[in-house]
Amino acid sequence: EPASLSLHQIRHLVAQFPTVERVVLHGVGEPLLNRELAKIIVWLKGKEIYVLFNSNGTLINKRWREALVDSGLDEIRLSLDAATPETFARVRGKPLFHVIVRNIQGLMALKAETGSRTPLVSLWLTGLRETLKELSAFIRLGHSLGIDRIYLQRLVYWDGNSDDRLARPEQSLFNSLRKEDEQMIKSAEELACSLGVSFEASGATTPSTSLSNDNSD
């Protein structure tokens, strides 16, 4: 049945893979809704396992920030998906841009205050028709937040859906990049390089390649 994994279940699963070195704590849904998440991370880190998860960043309040830093979490990947509040509201359907940015600022400030090198924080943008034009601004935003790892990922959607809240085929850039799209990506790569920011694609490939063909993971 759909549910959040418990620490008991995590222990049972890990016991079946004694050589596991890396655990990714996300799937369908927001990991921070799992009340046992911090305990799970602490237990996994006790076994010297690399732990990471994706988050939409909306729930990273002061309590969660402290819990994540204290837990020893290795990496958190934050999906912001826009460089402006207006675009975020159009893409995500909710006016939560400022909430997420404030939460990221709090997390980065706590890391600096405590001198903690973890969790490593990266910022993620889904490449859509609506968001690609903000790519350079997104990189500048990430840099201003103190984040030096920024990723562009391609849209995954279920074709044929009739729900306006879900992603639509016409939003996708995959296999349909135009010359102006490629130029925007190139400009963003040059900007990232000048700022000392790592700018990559989710499939361990270049941002342009990840959107233009299926060679990426």
Q: Per-residue pLDDT for 210 more than 70?
A: no
Question: Which has the minimum average pLDDT: 11-15, 123-127, 211-215?
Answer: 211-215
pLDDT in tens, 59-79: 999 999 999 999 999 999 999
Q: In this predicted model, which residue has the larger pLDDT, 103 or 178?
A: 103
Count of beta carbons in the 10 Å neighbourhood of residue 44: 24
pLDDT in tens, 129-142: 778 889 999 999 99
Sign (positive or negative) of CA dihedral 112, 114, 115, 116? negative
pLDDT in tens, 16-27: 998 999 999 988
**What is the pLDDT of the chain when averaged over all its residues?**
86
pTM, whole model, 2 decimals? 0.83
Sign (positive or negative) of CA dihedral 120, 123, 127, 133? negative
